[in-house]
Structure 1
Amino acid sequence: MGDLLERLRVRGWRMTAQRRVVAEVLSGDHVHLTAEEVLARASARLPEISRATVYNTLGELVALGEVAEVTTAGRAKRYDPNADRPHHHLVCSACGTIRDVHPTGDPLTALPPSERHGYTLAEAAITYRGLCPTCTARA
């Protein structure tokens, strides 16, 4: 089973068939699906699952902190099941593909004190943008 399912079991999250299918669809590395993509994949596995159930389950997973919402300019919100592991994102400016990345170094120390404007830093969310290999080949 995927890491997300295991984390949910440890938390004692009530695992209905519908919730399980949504969690299974989200499990894996570099998974950044829209709610509609989650619905389509969940429906393929469990045809009776409703749109409301998928959306409610995604909302619950985000509220639990087990799934992160990822937004990129002009595109639908996506859901990242790797919320338990610190990482940043690499986004294709053309097709919107998102990959998890783990750069070296601490982004909190990369911001010089003169640019912090008195803030006490707690976290950093970095999004790298460029063209994926497929879109680069098409260009």
Structure 2
Amino acid sequence: MSTLLERLRGRGWRMTAQRRVVAEVLSGEHIHLTADEVLVRAAERLPEISRATVYNTLGELVALGEVTEVATDGRAKRYDPNAHRPHHHLVCGGCGTIRDVQPDGDPLAALPASERFGFTVSDAEVTYRGLCPACAAGA
């Protein structure tokens, strides 16, 4: 069973067939699907699921803090179920693949006080960009 499904059940979230399928599609590691990709995969499991249901369910999951939206380079938003473990992203500039990474060190410590402009910094989102092995091989 996916961690996302377990978290949702633990919260008492009403688990309709449509919501369950969306949560199942988002299960696993390094999942960063667009809403349309979620719809295609959900429809393979539950053909009657509608676009509106998928979009509404994704919106609810984001509002609950169970899924985060990831946007890179003006591409479509992607949905990341790894919302409860701090991490950064590694993005391929060729194919758009996104991987979760946990580098050593605290990214907040890397920002000197002189560059904080009086802000109380509570979080950092770091995106590493490059080429995945497949794209690098074709370059």
The TM-score with structure 2 as length reference comes to 0.99
- Determine the structure 1 residue equivalent to 2:63: 63
CA distance in 2, matches of 1:30, 1:66: 15
CA distance in 2, matches of 1:93, 1:117: 31
- Determine the structure 2 residue equivalent to 1:119: 119
> 2:79 is matched by which residue type in structure 1?
Y
Shift of 1:73: 1.1
Shift of 1:74: 2.4
The equivalences for 1:52-131 within 5 A come to: 52-131=52-131
- Determine the structure 2 residue equivalent to 1:28: 28
Show CA shifts across 1:100-123 (max 9, x none): 000011111111111111111100
CA distance in 1, matches of 2:94, 2:138: 10
Q: What is the RMSD computed on CA atoms of the aligned residues?
A: 0.5
Once the two structures are aligned, what percentage of the paired residues are identical? 79
Shift of 1:52: 0.5
CA distance in 2, matches of 1:74, 1:67: 19
> 2:56 is matched by which residue type in structure 1?
N
CA distance in 2, matches of 1:121, 1:53: 36
Show CA shifts across 1:26-75 (max 9, x none): 01110000000000000000001011000000000000000000001121
Give 1 or 2: higher helix fraction: 1
CA distance in 1, matches of 2:51, 2:116: 43
Q: In structure 2, list runs of 5 or more residues that go unmatched.
A: none
Q: In structure 1, list runs of 5 or more residues that go unmatched.
A: none
What SS class does the counterpart of residue 107 from structure 1 fall into?
A: coil
CA distance in 2, matches of 1:74, 1:12: 35
Tell me the number of residue pairs that the alignment of Structure 1 and Structure 2 aligns.
Answer: 139
- Determine the structure 1 residue equivalent to 2:3: 3
What SS class does the counterpart of residue 7 from structure 1 fall into?
A: helix
Deviation >2 Å, runs of 4+: none
